[in-house]
Amino acid sequence: MGRSTTRRPVVRIDLAGPPGSVRRPDELAAEEPLEIRVRKQPLAVTMRTPGNDIDLAMGFLLSEGMIAVAEDVTTAQLCAGTDTPNTYNVVDIVLGAHVPPPLTDPTRNFYTTSSCGVCGKASIDAVRTKSRFDVTGDPLRVPAATLAELPGRLRAAQRTFDRTGGLHAAGLFTAAGELLVLREDVGRHNAVDKVLGWALREGRLPLTGHVLMVSGRASFELTQKAWMAGLPLLAAVSAPSTLAVELADEAGMTLVGFLRGQTMNVYAGVERVTV
């Protein structure tokens, strides 16, 4: 497996300091392709930071509506691929005999990038997958003061970000603000898939009464992924998109954006945030 970081020489220029420049090593977040195969047939390629690749692949299949529980997967393993030296940038998943094989639509591009996992979709309708879980009746209630603490707790657990400054994070929290798992990746959607894949393997779905916190913006895709895992509340430190808000309304989810310091905007499901 590739490393999550790598060191490269850089030239450091500081206009506020003494004249000149300094050559020194810098640590960068790794970005490598991961091919996801189902029964040895290529399904998707995503640009990700190596690490937790099995969780990433299983979270991807979950958020695409192909699997619902860990028992839907018979085996999941990293494969060597064709690179030299081997980077193990292939995950092969064998689904149970009871699980229908994925139907690949030629109008839909399953190639995703680290910046946006939806960019290759043929249309919004192609990704508006209906979740198996109904979150409208989820009884979760979270004090606004608890939500205000989540960004700091998320940031404090970002060990790779501390070294590189170049990774997104997704964290799964309890209603009391306890961090259960955190994953980092160059792609927002990959970080979320790694969290959801972990929850799937741990038998925690649906994630009733939990909060998903992300370090960037709240996109349509991240909202959909949260819904597919049965999450009632998605919080982000930055802005949501219009489609994210519309989907949260449709799903009965709570969507919180601009969660910074002591302030936040609740764009949907305000009844779950208590003051």
Distance CA 178, CA 149 (A): 10
- pLDDT block averages, 10 residues each, the chain of length 275: 74 87 85 92 92 96 92 92 68 95 60 52 54 94 98 89 78 98 94 98 97 95 94 97 92 97 97 97
Contact of 108 with 124, CB cutoff 8 Å: no
Q: How far is CA 15 from CA 20, 22, 23, 25, 174, in A?
A: 9, 12, 15, 19, 45
| Tokens 């109008």 found at | 107
Q: What is the 3-state secondary structure (H, E, C) of 164-198?
A: HCCCEEEEEEECCCCEEEEEEECCHHHHHHHHHHH
Kind and range of the H or E run holding 211: strand 210-214
pTM of whole model > 0.75?
yes
The long-range contacts involving 166-169, CB below 8 angstroms and separated by at least 24 positions, are 166/28, 166/29, 167/29, 167/49, 167/191, 168/214, 168/215, 168/216, 169/214, 169/215
> Taking Cα atoms as reference points, which of 69, 18, 67 lies closest to residue 43?
67
Confidence (pLDDT) at 114? 54
> Taking Cα atoms as reference points, which of 124, 118, 125, 120 lies closest to residue 108?
120
Q: Which residues are catalytic?
A: 116
The two tokens of residue 218 are 């709240």
Distance CA 253, CA 247 (A): 8
CB atoms within 10 A of CB 24: 9
Distance CA 154, CA 137 (A): 27
